[in-house]
Each structure stands twice: as structure tokens, then as C-alpha cells.
Chains A and B, each alone.
Chain A
């Protein structure tokens, strides 16, 4: 039998702990186990041999810590080569009759990937590529990725393995006691991602004993279609007389693991604290038990870092708002690289009930592949909703799929041969659930039968790549009913037909149906209900629209999917609150004073909603926006600013006033948009947190206050290189630049930025601030001013632009 056949059949025995034994053999604290491949090869061989003789079908080479992050490539090569030789020798010499294999052992690289850590995804892939390439060249039987506690790193390692060898890849992650990876992955989301990328076996190891890992293994068994492995510790480490030992003995250990074999566990061994005795006991405990045959799970699943969603149970809400088509403000944000706007769109849709977010950043003049990948990474840093990657550009799709942490929805393929040739290989390689549009070279068929025929052709072609039909959703294309009275009917008929004939799920972008007609959501929500009734699996829609959401939630409630009508009651309960903040609503109740005078008080007190509505009222009553700013808002801000400087008011109060002022400014801007500028600009200020530093709370406060005081602020964000600051200052010819640093270690980067600005942009005055800075320090690095706090920064900026 081949290696893979043996794995699929089970039981298949792995080895046990290596570190434990090598420490016993004399490895000193602080000494790297992998160095022993070169210095003590006989000891390494002896350990492997002991495992083979205890009954292991596979040992992992002593290469866990070998990675270009720790060693030069030459050292990596020497250590891996020596490790494989040791394992091969053990295999040849072992007094054992079972089939015996050797795995290249690949552990974590020791650095966290972006956005949490400093390591770029592609750099992580490169590092693992070297390890895999060397290991494969020395003839190992498989690649064993183990003990990784970050989904993104696991993904990078698996991708490297799949791209650089044809060997089977076993992937084992380390979970915490909370049943999650350190960076938030759940068993379901991890399995979806790993299977999508083509892992040949998945499982768990290290961190806990067999009893604590068992529930996690059972969750794996419930969802995985590939073999599942388990390699627990010998319980938890305990200390006695300064020595560490583990609290679960071989018998107990084996019994707990063997109990999982009838449930489908087929690959098993031990991790920290286990020895050949444990493996021998395990083999004995399993005895003649054989796991039930491996079953493919017919589930359509998409996943993010930590959330897995199964399609087909309840209809899903895919938020449509991150798509620049017909959205001027978003298009502008994308052109300017204003990612904060995009991220806020994501958060507001999530808060209103979106379960998946469509992400489309295609607009003329942007580098779509780079922008889509950036958007995906930044979105995943703030939301755990699965994403639907939406682009017609295959290069953009591939870049986004590489970095997407999870199993994405891929929007889209269609029946055109050229498109299928470009998209299917991506789905095969990276995994994903594919949205397939029922159109082809001839356009969109006018009949439901025509659309079904395309769907069948797409399925056939997908089958050639090994893409399963459960991973395809069909979009039968919503057409505008105002252009063709039968359009909606054909779409809905096709939906039902495809569902019945192919068994595949379906998806529709529902908004389009009402294009060109008044009160669009009236029609749209009725269409949504009709589509849901015909078995729609997911709707691409606007979750911020009450009427559309109402239709979706009502459908769930009316079809027995909403226990005690809870979701409906919650939704209904939020309706009045939404109306109260909508622009058409009257001023908030309880406001005693009205008009301009009240506005001043509201800003001083930091009452955001009231400030906004009072400004609106004053404007509606015919007051001039500029006058309001000059006579009410600025004096209010000054009052608060002075209170802050006199230490009578404090940062939270200053900030709430700033936000209240901001709310009033928004109203004034809205009113004066189209007319001349609102508040005249006092000048441009470029601000940034310097390179190497990621603290931006203070910088954000400074930005808010500067904007309040009428400056145009260009915020470059955090961890900004000196050259990037210079580029912005030159391009905007900014008279003022503000730099923030919080750490002693990043002040040199600040000094460097100041020097560069003084040399190349001598017109620009540079103010600095941040926790570690002092007046003297600022002088030492030749800054033009030191801002003790946000108010001081405003005063400095005012002073600089006047000079």
C-alpha cells in the first residue's frame, strides 16, 4: 500500500516526543535540538530507531527548528541533510516489521505574520519554500507541518509545500485550552482553509493532553473529509524538585486516544513528554480496531480566520457595499488609498447583520491586484466575517486568494471558456466556494433552460479540475425589470431549475432588479422574498437597508428558522433607533436650548448627536454655516481647549467636544457642498507615526483636533518610512508636518525623518510629540516644535502657518 492509502485506512502510528528524549540524552538548556543532527547523529538515530521499534509507521526528522529565520541557507541544508540521514539509518536498522516512513518536520518560524506581526505573507512563504525544497531533495516521504498556532503561518507553510513538491502534506496545529489557535482560528475554520489548499491530512498536536484535545479532534472529525491526526502531550507539565514531568502515563494516554478510533481518528502519536513506551502502549490499546471508512463531507463551507459558515441551511446575507460601482464616495476613497473608509463600510455592514462581505475595489486608475490584496488583509484585521472576493481580473483574484486567511467566496466565473480556463486553476489551488454566472460567449440566455445548460457545462468543466459541485453556487443573474417585464420571472425560474437539477446552491445580487424605478427597495424586497421562496442560498444585498433586511429576516422567521421570533424582535426593536439618527429625523429630544446658542453648549459638553441636530436646525433656519463655525463652534472649542490647558478639563472631555464639533462640521459641510468651500482651510498638515512604531492613539487625537481647527490633515498612518513622509510633504507642499513616536527605540527613526525633511523640504516646519519625548529631546533631534499634548500641537500648527 502507498503512504496515502495507509493514512486513509488507518490506524497509522506516528512517533512521540523528541525534545524530551534528546534532553535526557544530554542536550543542554539553550542548545538547539537540530544542532545534534551534526554533533550527535548517533543519539538522534537512536531516538528515531526506538520509535520505529515501538511501532511507529512514521518518524518526523529532527528538523522542527530549522528555518531561514534562524539559520543561514547553508546551515539549513546541512542540518536537514544530516537529519534525513539519521532517520533513514534508523529506518534501515530498526528491528521492526511495519511499513516505515520519514517526514520532513516543519515547525513555526518564530515570527508572527502581518497584520498582527511584522512578517509579510510572501516572505513567510519564501522561508518555508527553502525548507521544503531542501527536505524534498533529500528524499523524505512526506511533509509534516506541526505545532503552528497561527492560521496565517500554517497557510504560508502549506502553500510553500504544495508549490514546491508533490509529497503528501500533513498539517497539525496547536490549540489552546479554549479550543482556538493563538490567533483565533477554530477547528472548523482551520479545516476548511487547509482542505481548500489541498492538505492530505489535518489534525492537532502539542499544548494539551489527550483528554483535553479530544473535543477538538471530534470537531475535526465532524467536518474533515481527509484523514485526521492527533499527537497530544503526555498531559500537562508539572514540576517536582525543579524537574518537569508530565502527569499522564502511557496507559491512560493510550486509552484516551484509542477511544477516538471508532469515531474516525486514524493517525496518532504523541508530543511533549511522550516516549517510545507511550507509542508501544498506544499500539497495544488500539489493537485490532480499525476506524470507520473515510467519508467525504458534503458541506459547502466558507471561512475566515476564525469563523466557518456552512451554506445551504439558512439563506445568507452578503453585504454589497464595498463595490465602487455607482458610489462616488467609495471610488474617491479607493483612488486616494483611504482604507479607513472601506473598513468602516465593512464594520457598519457587520453591525447591521451582514454575514459575508463582498469586496470589489475595481475602479479606473488603481492597481487592482495590489489594492484588492491590501483591502483583504486590512479587512481581515478588523472583521472576522468571511469575504467574497469580487473581481474580473484573474491576477487580482490570485493575489487576493494568496493572502486571504480562510476559504473565500470567489466572485466569479462564467461559462466563457477563457474565463473558466483562468479561474478554475485558482480555485483548485487555493480552495474557495465559487460563484458561477450563467452566461457565456453568446451572452445571457433569455430562457431558464438556456441558463441551466450553461450551469451544466460549467459543472462539467469544473469536474475536470477536481472541483466539486458542492463548492459551486450559481448566479442566475438578476436583470432589470423596467427593461424587460419577464426578466425577473426568467431569473427565478432558472434559480429553481438549477437548484433542482444540479443540487447546487444559488446566489443573486438582488438590487439590480429595480434599477431605474422609484422606491427601489419596495420592489427589491419583494423580489428577494420570491427568490428565497425558490431556495436562494445567499443574497448579495445592502444590509443597511431596513426594507431589504426586513424581507430577509421575515423570511427566516416565517420559515421556522428564528427561534421564538428572537431575531425578528431584535430587528424590529432597532428600527426606531435607526430612524432617530437618520438625517431626516427631528432634533434629539431633551435638548433644552435650540439653535446656535445650544450648539455652543453641546460642543462644550461633548454631546455629539445634539450638536449635529442643532447645527442642522440652525442651517435650516437660514443661518450661515461659516458664521456658525466662527461664532459658536470655534469659541466652544477654545473654551474646552483652554480648560484642558489649565488642567480643569481632561483628555476624554476634550475628545468628546472634538467629536461633537466634528458632528456639527459634518452637517455644515453637507449643507455647503456644491456651494463654495465650507470652512476656509488654515493650511495643510501632514501627520504620521514614525517608522517602526505602531502607536497611533495620540496621533489620531491630534488629527481630530487639527481638523476641528480648520487644518486640512493628510494622515499617513503608522509605521511610516521617512521617504513616505517626505514624498507627501513635497507633493502637497505642506507647511507643517507632525510626527509621533512612543518608544525610545523609534525616536531615531523620528530624528531621521526630521533631518530628511529639513534637507529636502526646508519650507516645512516639523512638530513632534509622543510619550517618550521631552522639550529637550525634541531640540536634540532638531524638531521645530514640541507638542506636549494635542492642544499644544494645534497651537504650534497655528503658529507655524502664521509665520
Chain B
């Protein structure tokens, strides 16, 4: 494995039904339809999602008007604002894995409603994985303050940066994420993001 890369096995993420319904576009005040096959879908995905992540720490420098992120440079104004005051970043990729995708593909064949729900479950799993990863990172760097996650494709940060992220984290080998020509990640329930780190104000 390349120098500086850290692998994290995040394991199974507990299901959060409220959150899953939110990803399925059901607002929290609305009742779930009586026959919504949520339990069936949860059963179908149980044991499939094994979240794993890889991360790496980089120094952050100004580069003219833009930023030198250590693995790539960018002129993104939105990211610059997000990382204000930070001297370092953490770059990570997290995935709910190939088996999750297979379970989703299977459910989609059975019905559109199951497809929607499985997609929502997958999203909750990988986001839950990111949360767990970030909690761990906060513990690892107790003297630093961490910003929220910021992903390529947000604001004016180009999605093309995914190519640099894949290379920097050796994603194919470390966590099994690959990128298509149109910049889609496989497995589909995967997240890449940048977190800023600054000294804690005491």
C-alpha cells in the first residue's frame, strides 16, 4: 500500500428507518404507506453493506488565487470558503461495497418501490459510514477542529476532481471503488470528500 494511506473497516451501519424514508423522499411528518415494503428491503440488504474507507492527510496551501490540496489544485471559490483558516485537509473515500449494489439491482427488478427503498437504504448506509469515519477522525485528531465534508461536484468544485481523488487514495485497490468515463463511481453507494482541519481555538 502507498505511503500515508489509512484503511478503515467501518463494518455494518445500523439501519435508521427515519433517515431511510427521508432519502426515499418521504418527509418526516408524512406517514409511511401501510404496505411500503421497507422491512422486506431491510431484510434483503442485511449483512450486505460492509462499509470501508480510505483516507489520507495533506497540507493545504494557497496557490495564487486557488488552493493546493496536496493531491490536486483547484480554483474553486466555494471550497476555499469552506476551508478558510485550515492548514491541512483529510481526503477520504468511503463505500458501502459491491454487494449492496447487487442487492439494489435485484430489488429494482422486483418493483420500482423496492428499488427506491433499496437505493435509500444504500444512501443511508454509506452516509452512516461517513459519519462513523468522521467520528473516528475527530478522535484521532483531538487538538484539531474538523469542518464538514465537501465533495467534488458540490458548488463550483468540479466533479472532474474525482479522477485525482481515485489516484491519490488508490481507490481501486484500497476500497474497490472505480470511476467510469462519465465520472460515476462503482459501487454506486460511495462517497468521496474533503474535510478541513484547523487548530482548535482554546
A752 within 8 A of B: no
Pick the contact of A701 from B112, B181, B184 — CB < 8 Å?
A: B112
Asked if B102 is at the interface (CB within 8 A of a chain A CB), the reply is yes
CB distance A116 to B159 under 8 Å? no
How many chain B residues sit at the interface, stated as a range, is: 35 or more
Cα distance A697–B188 in the bound complex, in angstroms? 12
Whether the pair B172, A110 counts as a contact (CB closer than 8 A) is yes
**Cβ-neighbour of A652 out of B32, B175, B183 (below 8 A):** B32
Inter-subunit contact A650/B30 (CB<8 Å): yes
In the assembled complex, the Cα of A115 lies from the Cα of B101 at a distance in Å of 10
Task: Please name all residues of chain B whose beta carbon is closer than 8 Å to the beta carbon of A655 when the two chains form the complex.
Answer: 112-113, 116
Q: Are A659 and B178 in contact (CB under 8 A)?
A: no
Contact in complex: A344, B112 (CB < 8 Å)? no
Contact of A700 among B3, B9, B52, B115 (CB under 8 A): B115
- A383 with B106: CB separation less than 8 A: yes
Interface residues of B in 165-190 (CB under 8 A from A): 172-173, 175-176, 178, 180-184, 186-188
Q: In the complex, what's the smallest C-beta–C-beta distance from B38 to chain A, in angstroms?
A: 9
Inter-chain contacts of A745 with B (CB < 8 A):
159, 182-184
Complex interface: chain B residues within 8 A of A609 (CB) = 35
Docked pose: A116 CA to B189 CA in angstroms: 12
Determine whether the beta carbon of A182 is less than 8 Å from that of B108: no
Would you call B99 an interface residue if the criterion is a C-beta within 8 Å of the partner chain's C-beta atoms?
yes
- Tally of contact residues, A, Cβ under 8 A: 64
A108 interface contact, C-beta 8 A: yes
- Asked if A415 lies at the interface with its beta carbon under 8 angstroms from chain B, I say no
Interface string of B49-67 (1 = CB under 8 A from A): 0101000000000000000
Q: A437-445, A496-504, A540-548, A688-696: which one contacts chain B?
A: A688-696
A239 at the interface (CB under 8 A from B): yes
Shortest Cβ distance from A231 into chain B, in angstroms?
A: 14
Interface check B26, CB cutoff 8 A: yes
A177-B182 contact in complex given A650-B27, A697-B119, A700-B112, C-beta closer than 8 Å: no
Tell me if A182 and B30 are in contact (CB < 8 A): no
Q: Do residues A108 and B30 form an inter-chain contact, with CB atoms below 8 A?
A: no
A 670-683 to B, binary, CB cutoff 8 A, 1 in contact else 0: 00000000000000
Interface presence of B36 (CB below 8 A): yes
Q: Is the CB of A272 within 8 A of B173?
A: no
Contact between B101 and A692, CB atoms less than 8 A apart: no
Q: Mark A9-28, 1 if CB is under 8 A from B, else 0.
A: 00000000000000100000
Does A613 reach chain B (CB closer than 8 Å)? no
B202 interface residue (CB < 8 Å to A): no
CB A296 to nearest CB in B, in angstroms, measures 33
A315 lies within 8 A of chain B by Cβ: no
Chain B, residue nearest A693 (CB): B182
Give the contacting residue for B4; candidates A183, A244, A649; CB below 8 A. Answer: A244
In the bound complex, what is the Cα–Cα distance between A769 and B117 (angstroms)? Answer: 20
Q: Establish whether residues A650 and B182, one from each chain, have CB atoms under 8 Å apart when the complex forms.
A: no
Q: Any chain A CB within 8 A of the CB of B21?
A: yes
B201 within 8 A of A: no
Residues of A within 8 A of B112 (CB): 655, 658-659, 697, 700-701, 703-704
CB of B98 closer than 8 Å to a CB of A: yes
Q: Is A347 located at the chain interface by the 8 A CB criterion?
A: yes
In this assembly, does A178 line the interface, its C-beta being within 8 Å of a C-beta of chain B?
Answer: yes
Residues from 226 to 245 in A contacting B, C-beta threshold 8 Å: 237, 239, 242-244
> Complex formed: what's the CA distance from A150 to B97 in Å?
13
A609 CA / B34 CA spacing, docked (Å): 12
Which residue of B has the minimal Cβ distance to A148? B173
- Nearest CB of A to B23, in Å: 11
A652 near B113 (CB under 8 angstroms)? yes
B77 interfacial by beta-carbon distance below 8 Å: no
Question: Which one, B3, B35, B181, contacts A118 given CB within 8 A?
Answer: B181
Residues of B within 8 A of A696 (CB): 108, 115
Chain A residue numbers with a CB within 8 Å of B187 are: 116
Q: Is B186 a contact of A112 with CB atoms below 8 Å? A: yes
Is there contact, CB below 8 Å, between A653 and B172?
no
Within 13-66 of A, Cβ neighbours of B (below 8 Å) are at 23, 29
CB distance from B111 to the nearest CB of A (A): 6
Q: Are A116 and B186 in contact (CB under 8 A)?
A: yes
Residues of B104-123 at the interface with A, using a CB-CB cut-off of 8 Å, are: 105-106, 108-113, 115-117, 119
Q: Does A744 contact B (CB under 8 A)?
A: yes
Enumerate chain A residues within 8 angstroms of B181, measured Cβ to Cβ.
118, 692
B33 on the A face (CB < 8 A): yes
> Which of A121-129, A281-289, A458-466, A600-608 forms contacts with chain B?
A600-608
Is A184's beta carbon under 8 Å from chain B? yes
- Contacting residues, chain B, for A650 (C-beta < 8 A): 25-27, 30
B180 touches A118 (CB 8 A): yes
Shortest B167–chain A CB gap in Å is 8
In the bound complex, how far is the Cα of B159 from the Cα of A237, in angstroms? 31
Inter-chain CA distance A108–B183, complex, in Å, is: 20
A651 touches B26 (CB 8 A): yes
Which residues of A in the span 308-363 have a Cβ within 8 Å of any Cβ on B? 340, 343-344, 347
Tell whether, in the assembled complex, residue A347 and residue B115 are in contact, meaning their CB atoms are under 8 Å apart.
no
Contact B182 A652 (CB under 8 A): no
How would you classify the secondary structure of chain B's contact residues: helix, strand, loop or mixed?
loop
Decide if A382 touches B188 in the complex (CB within 8 Å).
no
- Residues of chain B contacted by A118 (CB below 8 angstroms): 178, 180-181, 186
Inter-chain contact B105/A381, CB cutoff 8 Å = yes
Q: A656 near B: Cβ within 8 Å?
A: yes
- With most chain B CB atoms within 10 A of its CB, the pick from A118, A649, A655, A701 is A655
Residues of A within 8 A of B184 (CB): 692-694, 743, 745
A117 lies within 8 A of chain B by Cβ: yes
| Chain B window 10-39, contacts with chain A (Cβ cutoff 8 Å), 1 for yes, 0 for no | 000000000001001111001011111000
Minimum Cβ distance to chain A for residue B47 (Å):
11
Which residue of A is nearest B24, CB measured?
A: A652
User: Distance in Å from the Cβ of B26 to the closest Cβ of chain A?
Assistant: 5
Given contacts A381-B105, A701-B112, A743-B184, contact A111 B178 (CB under 8 A): yes
Is the CB–CB distance between A347 and B110 below 8 Å? yes
- CB of B138, distance to nearest CB on chain A (Å): 17
Residues in chain B near residue A749, CB distance under 8 A: 182
Within 8 Å CB of B25, what residues of A? 650-652
Residues in A whose Cβ lies below 8 Å from that of B108:
696-697, 700
Task: Report the minimal beta-carbon distance from A66 to chain B, rounded to whole angstroms.
Answer: 16
Q: Which residue of A lies closest to B118 (CB)?
A: A697
When chains A and B are docked, how far (Å) is the Cα of A10 from the Cα of B12?
40
A149 within 8 A of B: yes
Q: Which residues of A contact B27 (CB under 8 A)?
A: 650
Given known contacts A607-B34, A697-B116, is B50 in contact with A178 (CB within 8 Å)? yes
Closest chain A residue to B52, Cβ basis: A176
> Least Cβ distance of B100 to chain A in Å?
11
**Interface assignment of A746: CB less than 8 Å from any CB of chain B:** yes
- Knowing A110-B172, A116-B98, A244-B4 touch, does A605 contact B113 (C-beta < 8 A)? no
The closest CB in chain A to the CB of B166 belongs to A110
Q: Quick check: is A147 within 8 A (CB to CB) of the other chain?
A: yes
B5: which A residues are within 8 A, CB to CB? 237
Contact (A29, B172) CB under 8 Å given A184-B99, A652-B26, A652-B116: no
| A-B pairs, 10 with minimum CB distance | A692-B182, A182-B176, A651-B25, A656-B33, A112-B178, A382-B106, A700-B112, A655-B113, A606-B33, A745-B182
Chain A residues at the B interface, C-beta cutoff of 8 Å:
23, 29, 108, 110-112, 115-118, 147, 149-150, 174, 176-178, 182-184, 237, 239, 242-244, 272, 340, 343-344, 347, 381-384, 605-609, 649-653, 655-656, 658-660, 692-697, 700-701, 703-704, 743-746, 749
30 A-B residue pairings within 8 Å (CB atoms): A29-B2, A116-B187, A176-B52, A182-B97, A182-B98, A237-B6, A239-B6, A244-B4, A272-B1, A344-B110, A381-B102, A382-B102, A382-B109, A383-B106, A384-B102, A605-B33, A608-B35, A649-B30, A650-B25, A650-B26, A651-B116, A652-B32, A653-B26, A700-B112, A700-B115, A701-B112, A743-B159, A743-B182, A746-B182, A749-B182
Known contacts A108-B173, A340-B109, A651-B26; 8 further A-B pairs (Cβ under 8 A)? A112-B172, A184-B102, A382-B102, A609-B35, A652-B33, A656-B33, A692-B181, A700-B112
